[in-house]
Amino acid sequence: MTTHLYENPIFLEHKVPEGHPERPDRLRALNIALEHPNFAELKRLEASKGDEDLVLLAHTEDHLRSIKRAIPDDDINQFEADTYASAMSLEAALTGLGGAVAAVDAVFAGEADNAFVAARPPGHHAEKNRPMGFCFFNTVAIAARHAQTVHGAERVAIVDWDVHHGNGTQDIFWDDPSVLFCSTHQIPLYPGTGAKDETGVRNNIVNAPLSPNSSGEHFRDAFRSRVLAALENFRPDFVLISAGFDAHHRDPLAQINLVAEDFDWATGRLLDVAGRSADNRIVSLLEGGYDLQGLAESAGLHILRLMRG
Ligand SMILES: [Zn+2]
């Protein structure tokens, strides 16, 4: 497989207060893991800043205006419960969008089979009209809309294995059967949504909640019986992954006991899905993952699996 990785030093310039879990060191830890010779063939590209219009693929103009208003000239501004902006945060968030759409363009052009976007801030909690949970713009939703509008994708699947429910992605695609949204996550946990009976208006939302202290086996059972079963019916022509690594057992924000090999396994299953109906096309976007070692190991194996197919 040819795998692209999109990165940019601007992602380190989105500043948060001391002690905040969603911190620049997350990307530094991943970068160190990527120095291993295993990643010699990984094609690393610098993400460009995305146009503000991309935001409107998934959000209201009000939302974009309120994010722009939240950006301080200096220091750090708390503009939502646990979400902060610094002077370069808008630049970072827009560059995350730029990396995501470049990744989509590359897999549809056949320049890459798949791609990983190592950006922050993350995106999956951002609703149509509301930033939430460290997230400004819903990057994965914008990538899905871009694939539809520019590349004619007809059946986009978004698989979200971040330990927190992707409430924002669910909100954006609630009544849109052209997108299948599948999520595994811990319940009870922030943001409180993601019950099995939240199915969207056209059964295009599939939630697979996990109880606290669930093991890798529990995760794999839920992934097989709910996520993979739904994907088999849907036959996506493009697969997006909201790749959070906070279900790792070391993560401080949740109580699920996955190991890095569980993310490798799930990646392999999605490669099978994409190989069957999507001409291998997968774009994976970094969401959460707050233990530096757990994140680096898990994201490292995930990227290596994307490369090896
Ligand atoms: Zn998370």
Q: What is the pLDDT of residues 71-94, one digit of tens each?
A: 999 999 999 989 999 999 999 999
Pairing of strands 83-86, 76-80: antiparallel
Report how far ligand 1's centroid is from the alpha carbon of 163 (Å): 5
Report how far ligand 1's centroid is from the alpha carbon of 111 (Å): 30
Q: Check residue 293 and give its pLDDT.
A: 98
Report how far ligand 1's centroid is from the alpha carbon of 58 (Å): 20
Q: Check residue 73 and give its pLDDT.
A: 94
The alpha helices in 110-240, defined as continuous H runs, are: 139-151, 167-173, 216-222, 229-234
| Calculated CA dihedral for residues 259, 263, 266, 272, nearest 10 degrees | -130
- Catalytic residue ranges: 125
For residue 247, give the amino acid letter. Answer: A
Q: Check residue 28 and give its pLDDT.
A: 98
The DSSP code for 279 is T
Q: Check residue 296 and give its pLDDT.
A: 98
Q: Of the candidates 249, 122, 240, which has an alpha carbon nearest to the alpha carbon of residue 191?
A: 122
Other Cβ atoms closer than 10 A to 279? 13
Taking the chain (309 residues) in consecutive chunks of 10 residues, what is each chunk's mean pLDDT? 98 97 98 98 98 98 97 93 95 98 98 98 98 97 98 98 98 98 98 98 97 98 98 98 98 98 98 98 98 98 98
Q: What is the pLDDT of residues 33-73, one digit of tens each?
A: 999 999 999 999 999 999 999 999 999 999 999 999 999 99
Residue 173 CA to residue 29 CA, distance in Å, equals 33
pTM > 0.85: yes or no: yes
Domains and CATH numbers, the chain: 3-308 (3.40.800.20)
Report how far ligand 1's centroid is from the alpha carbon of 244 (Å): 6
Burial class of residue 34 in the structure, from the number of CB atoms within 10 Å of its CB (0-12 exposed, 13-18 middle, 19+ buried): buried
Angle made by CA atoms 159, 258, 286, in degrees to the nearest 5: 40
